[in-house]
Structure 1
């Protein structure tokens, strides 16, 4: 059983991943990293899962990195990084930046969320600071409690943004807003997050999870799971494309492959018959046929 999270998969196909260290304000550590990555591996492999909601237990979403190591919390040379690898410092004092110990743990999680084959919705119930804020950026949507707070506090800790946030944050909120929040490193309220484009909507605390579940169901009911998985990957990949031709290349392959699928036949037949569709294709069966379209290892 996981120690730092819980994962509940409801009969309607909505999975809820809950950060579960409430006595530590759900502070992020290496165990939580591994358990969250494993949870997304599980939801990707389970064709019954249609979408994933991520939230926190207690009064915080995630208050940031676990600082119990004190001043050396971010000194990966001493700690072995997130995976306990040998020190990347060579005998001559130079650094082997290819060593796994150099990798940022928040970025490992961010890339795993980025690669999810199911929509991911953040239900931010309280403080989301540091990695607690950046882990939400690769999620498709962020819904927040009116009591939530956010903070990209890295400069105030003497470090820099992590968790793939330097890629996601300016794309989500614009460069100027991203710079303001990361330079100042201040904690700001949910209303400012909404005004700045970080979150989709605000909800009363008791209504947050029900609203997130209703929103998730509205996204996936009546839509083909394989089409959703492909659409998510196509749009995320497109944010980094150099030219519209890159999008055209992927779209052409996807339309050709999907057009001859059982899902496409069912989509048209159910529409003409004015009935709900029953799409036959599954993500687990179909994904291997299209994975090479997204050959960059960062997508996996």
Structure 2
């Protein structure tokens, strides 16, 4: 896509900011927005000059969830979807899951339904004091989406996930922080700035290849049946550090007490044997 209608995309200081841009509809989630978010994440992931992505919303709300006034789903409701159809919130959350770059969600106001499930695969969620969250599906007679039944218990535990999803109640930022859904809470006008501050620190101090591998290690290996297959992969990764320019630079820059200048590229320098590559 050369232009976006329902999001904006900009890059500054090696940070890509992706903004939901339907403030008149409280950033209600649409099929077009799902497609544009997927394209924007592809774009950021391919760009070696981008180190971190911030996902945020224009206006007082991040997103109130699906906006069915825009025509509903992209299939004929009388015939239903074909076997390959995928619901739109999951298209976004799965694409963020596969990112090589860390993604920081900067949230304020409502993040409800699809407006919260698309953020569950982000690496950080920063909230504002006026944030309100809700997995309200059962109160609408529908079902959880965005692969949230997989992501949410891993973030907050099964007991809390059951409470939030079975009751469908709306809750505030402090409860979300206490449960581990969000990492920090700020005044509404400060959330985006705090996200940028975090993004700049990651961009300035970390190896992009190390971040990409570590991010996927955490996600892909968390459900391994034991630590043994994880340690096998760890051993292969650590055993290869002797030929890693970033590992040398990380040690030398530390000893010389200077900022690191990592040279390895995510698109060409990840170990080819990683089991999740090209999947």
Q: Please classify the TM superposition score into its range, dividing by the shorter chain length.
A: over 0.9
Q: What runs of 5+ residues in structure 1 fail to find an aligned partner?
A: 82-86, 89-98
Instruction: Work out the number of aligned pairs and report it.
Output: 277
RMSD: 2.0
Q: Following TM superposition, by how much is the alpha carbon of 1:237 offset from its aligned partner in structure 2, in angstroms?
A: 1.1
Q: What runs of 5+ residues in structure 2 fail to find an aligned partner?
A: none
Please state whether the residue corresponding to 1:221 is helix, strand or coil. Answer: helix
Partner of 1:284: 267
Partner of 2:37: 36
The 1-side partners of 2:173 and 2:53 are apart by 22
The 2-side partners of 1:38 and 1:217 are apart by 23
Q: Could you list the per-position Cα deviations for residues 164-186 of structure 1 after superposition, in whole angstroms to 9, with x for gaps in the alignment? A: 11111011111111111101111
Please state whether the residue corresponding to 1:294 is helix, strand or coil. Answer: coil
Q: Following TM superposition, by how much is the alpha carbon of 1:27 offset from its aligned partner in structure 2, in angstroms?
A: 0.9
> Which segment drifts farther, 204-213 or 269-278?
269-278
Q: Could you list the per-position Cα deviations for residues 112-162 of structure 1 after superposition, in whole angstroms to 9, with x for gaps in the alignment? A: 000111111110122001010111110011100111111101111111111
Q: Could you list the per-position Cα deviations for residues 219-262 of structure 1 after superposition, in whole angstroms to 9, with x for gaps in the alignment? A: 33221111111111111112222211121122123223344111
Q: Could you list the per-position Cα deviations for residues 62-90 of structure 1 after superposition, in whole angstroms to 9, with x for gaps in the alignment? A: 110112168xx469551887xxxxx43xx
Partner of 2:250: 267
Q: In 2 relative to 1, CA 36–292 (structure 1 residues): closer, same or farther, beyond 3 Å?
A: same
The 2-side partners of 1:40 and 1:106 are apart by 14
Partner of 2:9: 7
Instruction: Tell me which of 270, 275, 278 is aligned to 1:293.
Output: 275
Asked if 1:78 is matched to 2:82, the reply is no
Partner of 1:84: none
TM normalised by structure 2 equals 0.93
Partner of 1:18: 19
Please state whether the residue corresponding to 1:108 is helix, strand or coil. Answer: helix
Partner of 1:49: 50
Partner of 1:96: none
The 2-side partners of 1:181 and 1:248 are apart by 35
Partner of 2:141: 158
